């Protein structure tokens, strides 16, 4: 009999944040895992004006051919961090801490029911109200995305009625119940990471994605110029050139920082131009795990480098496939 086994390796690696001339107003800034969403409060950051008196934050992670969806890596790219709010927000250790789009939330004693109450008056960047229908739609849409991150996929699969929905026997997930501004998720089985999921994967606008195919989610035209719910909205994009974002005046929490605009230059997961652009003054904030980048940027007097411990999990499968 062939046996499959799996070895799991946990390791701590260093990821580095690069920052220039940024101050977090009125609070201590706790650096976290930049591949995920956490309570970084960019709306409280203060940045020095440039030669023209403009307060623009420069960074990388801009789109090359399209804006990356949030289904796989919910916070790896810069736009994912400030274009979208989540139902709740996590701290720098990714521990859920308080409501974001939700004004409040509660978990039942047995952990099998989670209730969220949306804030009053929250809107998408096009002015359309954000509703519990958007939240429900996002979970049901995401559940059909083949590339959905395993953490979110496991949470959704634990919901009551999930199997019937995925198998096409039901038009919706019965465990998701809407009552006005309140939405309740009822679980068939316990998922200890449920709150983490709701702090990472943001609601998406139903009115803009409802007629798109979740099996080809990245191809939706929405990801050419996404309408979000976060503190900054897309102003202009020139693919593989630059993207600019401005404050969304309808955002529910204005903060006390003075950043007026964010400008991103394009880069993929690994940014070969990070050192060049940093030296040229085109980076105020970025992150990397590439040692050569760190070594070079540490020598730049205008930059501050902050090491952050990041936990990584790796799997090694033994005898997964039969020998020929």
Give residue-wise pLDDT tens across range 179-237: 999 999 999 999 999 999 999 999 999 999 999 999 999 999 999 999 999 999 999 99
User: 255 lies in a domain?
Assistant: yes
Domain that holds residue 127: 21-269
Residue 295 lies in a domain: no
Q: Is residue 281 part of a domain?
A: no
Overall number of domains in the chain? 1
Q: Judging by beta carbons within 10 Å of its beta carbon (0-12, 13-18, 19+), is residue 114 exposed, middle or buried? A: buried
Residue 1: inside a domain, yes or no? no
pLDDT in tens, 8-60: 444 444 456 666 644 444 444 556 677 789 898 999 999 888 888 999 999 98
- Whether 251 shows a pLDDT value over 80: the answer reads yes
Residue-wise pLDDT for 296-324, tens only, equals 988 998 888 888 766 555 555 566 566 66
Is 263 within 8 Å of 105 (Cβ atoms)?
Answer: no
Cα(285)–Cα(305) distance, rounded to whole angstroms? 10
Q: Which tens digits make up the pLDDT trace of 137-188?
A: 999 999 999 999 999 999 999 999 999 999 999 999 999 999 999 999 999 9
In a domain, 36, yes or no: yes
Please report, for the domain that includes residue 124, its CATH number. Answer: 3.40.190.10
Q: Is 320 exposed, middle or buried (0-12, 13-18, 19+ CB in 10 A)?
A: exposed
Question: For all residues of the chain together, what is the average pLDDT?
Answer: 88
Does 67 fall in a domain? yes
Contacts 24+ apart (CB under 8 A), 276-280: 277/60, 278/18, 278/303
User: Is residue 95 in some structural domain?
Assistant: yes
Q: Is residue 178 part of a domain?
A: yes
Using DSSP's 3-state secondary structure scheme, residue 215 falls into helix
Q: DSSP letter at 29?
A: P
Mean pLDDT of 120-133: 98
């Amino acid at each position: 009999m062939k046996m499959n086994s799996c070895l799991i390796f946990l390791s701590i690696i260093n990821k580095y944040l690069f920052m220039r001339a940024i101050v977090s107003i009125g609070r201590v800034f706790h650096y976290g895992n930049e591949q995920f969403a956490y309570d970084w409060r960019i709306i409280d950051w203060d940045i020095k004006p440039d030669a023209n008196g403009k307060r623009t934050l420069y960074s990388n992670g801009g789109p090359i051919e399209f804006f990356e969806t949030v289904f796989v890596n919910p916070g790896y790219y810069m736009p994912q961090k400030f274009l979208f709010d989540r139902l709740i927000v996590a701290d720098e250790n990714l521990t859920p801490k308080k409501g974001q789009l939700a004004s409040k939330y509660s978990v039942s004693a047995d952990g099998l029911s989670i209730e969220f109450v949306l804030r009053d008056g929250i809107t998408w960047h096009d002015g359309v109200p954000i509703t519990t229908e958007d939240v429900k739609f996002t979970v049901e849409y995401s559940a059909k995305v083949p590339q959905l991150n395993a953490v979110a996929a496991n949470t959704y699969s634990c919901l009551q009625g999930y199997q019937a929905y995925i198998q096409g026997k039901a038009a919706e997930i019965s465990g998701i119940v809407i009552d006005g501004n309140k939405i309740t998720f009822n679980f068939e089985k316990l998922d200890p990471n449920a709150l983490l999921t709701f702090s990472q994967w943001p609601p998406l606008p139903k009115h803009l994605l409802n007629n798109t195919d979740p099996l080809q989610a990245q191809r939706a035209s929405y990801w050419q110029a996404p309408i979000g719910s976060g503190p900054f909205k897309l102003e202009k994009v020139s693919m593989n050139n630059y993207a600019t974002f401005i404050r969304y005046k309808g955002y529910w929490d204005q903060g006390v920082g003075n950043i007026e605009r964010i400008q991103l230059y394009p880069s993929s997961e690994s940014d070969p131009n990070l050192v060049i652009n940093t030296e040229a003054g085109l980076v105020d904030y970025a992150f990397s795990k590439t040692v050569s980048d760190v070594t070079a940027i540490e020598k730049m007097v205008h930059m501050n480098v902050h090491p952050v411990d990041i936990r990584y999990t790796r799997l090694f499968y033994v005898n997964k496939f039969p020998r020929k």
